[in-house]
């Protein structure tokens, strides 16, 4: 089954790596997507699974404050993290993480390689290696990546993860290569 032209290799990406239009006001580094990552994955014939944007789902495009871009980035990220950590947002994040887990199991069931997760460091939601807490960039995962990791663990899924930053093109590709063991 599925013995056609497909590579049978997929990787999960934070939503904003494929759609910069979804991120909080004042933080876009690119007009649309992180071209270098997209092109590298396409060249290596790796399918891209776009994760949902947790902040957009839970807080809306303006992150519940039209003045968000007027704050310092780390202060705004801290505000967003606090909102994302509330009970109603966490319930939605758990639901999204469970749905993502189901997709991964389905790919594995049919022999596809799920190569890992690429997140966005410093993000209060999708950071992998760093996130924002208490007005500072700190080691650790964003709220959604924590929930996603927990959902994966519950059903025995272990995926490697790495974080990128849209302003660090070369380093982002290096980190993806490290993730994939190249």
> 16-72 pLDDT, tens per residue?
999 998 999 888 888 899 999 999 999 999 999 999 999 999 999 999 999 989 999
Domain annotation covers residue 3: no
Domain annotation covers residue 20: yes
The stretches of 45-142 forming alpha helices (DSSP H) are: 54-59, 73-84, 87-109
Across the range 117-126, mean pLDDT stands at: 98
Q: How far is the C-alpha of 29 from the C-alpha of 39, rounded, in Å?
A: 17
pLDDT at residue number 27: 87
Strands (E), 111-152: 113-120, 130-133, 136-139
Q: How far is the C-alpha of 6 from the C-alpha of 87, rounded, in Å?
A: 40
Domain annotation covers residue 166: yes
Domain annotation covers residue 4: no
Q: In what order do the strands lie in the sheet with 113-120?
A: 47-50, 9-13, 113-120, 161-164
Domain annotation covers residue 110: yes
Domain annotation covers residue 2: no
pTM of the model: 0.95
- The domain of 31 spans 9-179
**Do the beta carbons of residue 137 and residue 124 sit within 8 Å?**
no
Total number of domains constituting the chain: 1
C-alpha torsion sign, points 115, 112, 93, 56: positive
């Amino acid at each position: 089954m599925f013995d056609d032209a497909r590579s049978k290799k997929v990787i999960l990406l934070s939503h904003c790596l494929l759609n910069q239009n979804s991120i909080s006001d004042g933080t876009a580094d690119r007009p649309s997507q992180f071209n270098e990552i997209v092109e590298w994955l396409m060249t290596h014939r790796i399918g891209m699974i776009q994760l949902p944007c947790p902040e957009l789902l839970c807080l809306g495009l303006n992150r519940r404050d039209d003045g968000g871009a007027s704050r310092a980035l780390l202060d705004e990220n801290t505000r967003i993290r606090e909102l994302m950590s509330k009970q109603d947002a966490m319930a939605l994040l758990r639901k999204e993480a469970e749905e993502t887990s189901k997709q991964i199991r389905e790919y594995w069931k049919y022999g596809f390689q799920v190569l890992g997760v690429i997140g966005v460091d410093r993000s209060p939601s999708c950071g992998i290696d760093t996130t924002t807490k208490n007005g500072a960039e700190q080691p650790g995962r964003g709220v959604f990546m924590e929930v996603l990791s927990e959902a994966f663990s519950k059903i025995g899924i272990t995926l490697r993860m790495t974080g990128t930053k849209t302003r660090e093109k070369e380093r982002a590709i290096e980190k993806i290569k490290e993730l994939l063991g190249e």
